[in-house]
Amino acid sequence: MRLAARDLACFRGGRQVFRDLSFVLASGQALAVTGPNGAGKSSLLRLVAGLIRPAAGRIELSNGDSDLTIAEQAHYLGHQDALKPSLTVQENLSFWADLLGADTPKPALPIVGLDRLARVPAVYLSAGQRRRLSLARLIACPRPIWLLDEPSSTLDAPAQAMLTDLMRGHLAGGGLILVAAHGEIRFQTGEVRLGGSR
């Protein structure tokens, strides 16, 4: 599988965020998107996820499922954890599995350390627990492309180590990861740095 961006440009709020951005990401590779706040890291992930349209350029996926869009083959994990507070941990995960079309969701709660909280409503979770529940859907509903926006935010050191293991496992299985990060991502195979402000 190969994800390629060619000469991308992005405008938000009438201002140019970035232009002439190109990269290629192949199976088993991670690309770290770095830069100061407002440089367009989140905007780039949202472009790849199909949530916003590029002002110029194109994004192409080769050797994926030709019947599906890039968005249908990707997980986008943004700043917000996208949980329903009144649903339990397990119900939230089941909701995502149904929405994402997972016929038989893979067991994910033990991997993210939330199996003991399966029946607890999400409203009672800490910020770190909510983030771990969001990460659980990456496991429960496998997709080859992971678009992760500051995925380690609110995670303590053990949870960050768990996330690193998840990402390494995904790459070892031939997945792709595009991750926006302020800190160092030790195992990336490339980096694109965005500069400027919105």
| Encoded amino acid at 134, one letter | S
The Cα 181–Cα 162 span in angstroms is 17
pLDDT in tens, 126-179: 999 999 999 999 999 999 999 999 998 899 999 999 999 999 999 999 999 999
pLDDT in tens, 176-192: 999 998 665 555 566 67
Q: What is the pTM of this model?
A: 0.90
Residues with Cβ within 8 Å of residue 101, at least 6 apart in sequence: 141
User: What percent of the chain has a predicted confidence (pLDDT) above 70?
Assistant: 93
Domains belonging to the chain, first-starting first, are 2-193 (3.40.50.300)
Vertex 177 angle, CA 182 and 34, to 5°: 25
> Is pLDDT of 198 > 70?
no
**The pLDDT value given to residue 82:** 86
**Residues 1-23, mean pLDDT to the nearest whole number:** 92
DSSP H or E run through 146: strand 145-149
| Two structure tokens written together for 27 | 């199976």
Q: C-alpha distances in angstroms, 93 versus 97, 113, 115, 184?
A: 6, 14, 12, 29
Q: Return the sign of the alpha-carbon dihedral for residues 69, 11, 177, 159.
A: negative
| Strand-by-strand arrangement of the 2-12 sheet | 15-26, 2-12, 56-62
Give the model's confidence band at 101: pLDDT under 50 very low, under 70 low, under 90 confident, else very high.
confident
Tell me which DSSP letter residue 121 carries: B
